[in-house]
Amino acid sequence: MSVSPSASPSATSSVSSAGSAPTQADLYDFVRRTAGDTELIDSLPLDPEGRTWVRLDGPGGSEAWLIGWPPGTGTGWHDHADSVGAFLTASGELKENSLAVRLPTDGWKTLELTEDVDRERRLRAGQGRSFGRHHVHEVLNESPDRHAISVHAYYPPLPQIRRYSRSGPVLRLEQVERPEDWQ
């Protein structure tokens, strides 16, 4: 894994109204435009073993990242706490597994999920999505031989990430990470 200094995408960012927090739509527009910046996408160093990333200047004080995904890598199950977000695949293909249910935010370590909560999306280059607070998902590059690159944005900047393990219908809270753990 590597971390590089902040970079500014050539795409200009916009926020829905002066001084207001960026919305999910603003974040999605930012990741869509940024993913179209081929010079920026091509500048990301790719590692055959682990994910690489560069922090970007997101709109309206948001946190944004350009991420490279080697074949066979993924995030594991997690959420972004109180942040809303958006991400878009700039090259390659990513798979997102998510839960179509709002989980309690505190006071639990293990939950048993019902059969109808699992969702799967395949996001090819140019495809993405936005999501609300407490969205639980995992993102994977299932390709056996091709890197994927994606752009992500979150607002407010990530206060924490909760990491989960999953065994069948059982979801278990494993760890809570704070910004100092990954920056």
Say if residue 44's pLDDT is above 60. yes
- CA neighbor of 129 nearest in space, from 78, 95, 166, 163: 95
Residue 156, preceding peptide bond in cis (omega within 30° of 0): yes
β-pair type (63-69, 110-112): unpaired
pLDDT at residue 76, rounded to an integer? 96
Burial class, 67, CB count within 10 angstroms (exposed 0-12 / middle 13-18 / buried 19+): buried
Q: Please give the structure tokens belonging to residue 151.
A: 């752009």
Scan for tokens 């074949």, then name that residue: 71
Rounded to two decimals, the pTM is 0.87
pLDDT at residue 180, rounded to an integer? 82
Task: List, for residues 90-134, the tens digit of each pLDDT value.
Answer: 999 999 999 999 888 788 899 999 999 999 999 999 999 999 998
pLDDT at residue 129, rounded to an integer? 97
pLDDT at residue 18, rounded to an integer? 54
Say if residue 9's pLDDT is above 60. no
